[in-house]
Structure 1
Amino acid sequence: MEKIDLHDFRFSGSTLGEIPDLRTLDPADKAEMLMSGVDVEERQRAGTYLQVDHGSVHCKSLQPGVEILDIKEALKKYDGLPGHFWTQVDKDKDEFTRAAAENLHGGYFVRTEKGAKITEPVQSCLFLKSDMVGQNVHNVVIVEDDSELHIITGCSVAHDSKGAAHLGISEFFVGKNAKLTFTMIHNWADSTVVRPRTGGVVEEGGAFINNYVLLKPVKDLQSYPAIRLNGRGAVARFNSVIVAPKGSYVDSGSRIELNAPDTRGEVIARTIASGGTIVSRGFIGGNSVPAKGHLECKGLILGGGVIHAVPELMGTMDGVELSHEAAVGKIDQEEIEYLMARGLDEDEATSTIVRGFLNVDIMGLPKELHDVIEKTIAESQKDMF
């Protein structure tokens, strides 16, 4: 991981103003957003938030029961969001959190009403369009008691970007017997540096499902979301699918704290280094009983690259049940030969194995988004081999 100098990027002066109809966006920008799961037609969506560079350009709810605001508007409406804003992430954690705190550009605030079952996903996109622009965002998601929500958030950069930096703070609050599914698709470029900082809390009977997909090049990314299960019976699951081609450095992981009885946590990571470097982290801490946690990190090295798996388990109470499985290796030649014996050539056999390894079925995604990811995997394979 290289030292990032934030002075190399421009953190002011790039705002577009409102875009009422996303279909009027530049075709190249729409294509990049689509590869991040964002539909400019807003079909089968409960709402949309789009930020370009330093400001929100589109923000609206399309279904009752869910509120979507620019974070600056939410801070005004709710008197600074006491009890939520900067409570799950320490603003003095590092230079990136301090930069985001000192110069807030935007970000989304999403809140469900108590008992609301939002059947269609809310979509958001944090887009970097200008060259050498730096973007500070702060997102707050509140899923109130007995409600359900799925957010699809796509982070992307313009196709011809010569460099950009994204600093993103996200804080999640999942109420009693509530459920949040949060799917993040990163569609960066080989000149982008990314520093998300994420924290959240889940109350009694709540569930937090986090899906993370990174299949395109990125210069330098560091991400380590942390979720605390503070209520009895709370559940958290992190699924990630990551590919690092040549020139990409990805330090990514997830942390779950089992702080109440009958809590369960699971971290599942699938990584492929095709010339780049991946540090795959995972931590589960068992601080109450009964509690169960499982961590699984599996990596493939194709055509060079480095994978460093760092699984961590910490039990602080008698009776916690924590386990992990970590493996880094190559495609088994016998598997390739098996498929070749059934009519595939070597490239087809290898591609089939890779697609099976990067199994997104574990994520339980809507079919439309599943198909987008499958298409992205197929395109990424051209670079892998």
Structure 2
Amino acid sequence: MDPLMNQANWLKRQGIPSLTLLAGIIMGVVFFQYFANYKNAVVLDRQVAARGALTDDEQNTIKVFEEAASSVVFITTKRRGYDFFRNVTEQPAGTGSGFVWDHNGHIVTNFHVLQGGNAFEVVLLDQSIHEAKVVGLYPDKDMAILKIDAPKELLRPIPLGTSGELIVGQKVLAIGNPFGLDHSLSTGVVSALDRTIESVNGRQIKEVIQTDAAINPGNSGGPLLDSSGRLIGINTQILSRSGASAGIGFAIPVDAVRRAAPQLIRFGQVRRAGLGVSVNRNQRIRRQLASRGIEGVLIMAVQPGSAADRAGLRGTTRIGRRFQVGDILVGVNQEKIRNNNDLYNALDQLEVGQEVTIEYLREGEVFKTQLTLEAITAQ
């Protein structure tokens, strides 16, 4: 019997119509071939598009980052101590950013980056780790300077600009280590100028730069740059309800850094112009004076031999159970003084050795005197 007939009969016995099976095989082959060809067609048909030239702004951003990145450092703050067995222990206290100030290994950062620690490490761009020591602290401006011993070829001081010529709307770049992610770049603009923020010790920091460049925890102490790659500020604070960037960041102006850094390196502290007096910081006394309609800063004590002493200013004295109220400062160089911050900000703009006119209230009458400002240590 014909073999094909035998196969057909077998298929019938199995209940499988031969034509249906054959049709299924053919359709399977056709669909397989179709999808194989379709896949190949898709792969062969999709090609990488040419990128095209980078914009001038992109090229500028890339250039600034590449040149400035080697100046930015990662700072780790630790608390070092001893356990019961006198073994050295270390606990992490925080991280932040900083930048190279000079070839001698001085690193500028925020005071609050170092706050709470007693041991510090600086990581440079090449990932080398260097023990750092504190050279100077200036909490009034939330500034601090560390020093590391590193090869000079690894130390690239950041170019300095000026904050006095900034314009709202100009481009800025922030480089730092947000959330421990080293050398992260964000860009934005100068959102506002002459903002006032509060430092860690409650003192006001004036002339602060506001920017919408993303600043997050870990960015503190890092540089804010202009489009020429020059330092224009130190990223220091954000205004945010969540604790992360909300597009409102603040940077200490570079002009304040340029004034303070040399003194911090040389003396370990900033020597500001002062009168040689201690003033009232008691809120109750302030309220009592305000209730009597008196605005100004009450002198509590005059340092013997100081400029204020030579000018005849008087401090507050105690007679038995009563206090003899001292002179109340109400003006410096025709600038009205209403509170401690007014006095601090007025003196911050003046130089040691400069002659100024002081107005003060004594027994209800306003007097004027001139004195020469002298160096005092900033707290």
TM-score range, shorter chain: under 0.3
- The structure whose Rg is larger is 2
Higher helix share: 2
TM-score, with length taken from structure 2:
0.22
Higher strand share: 1
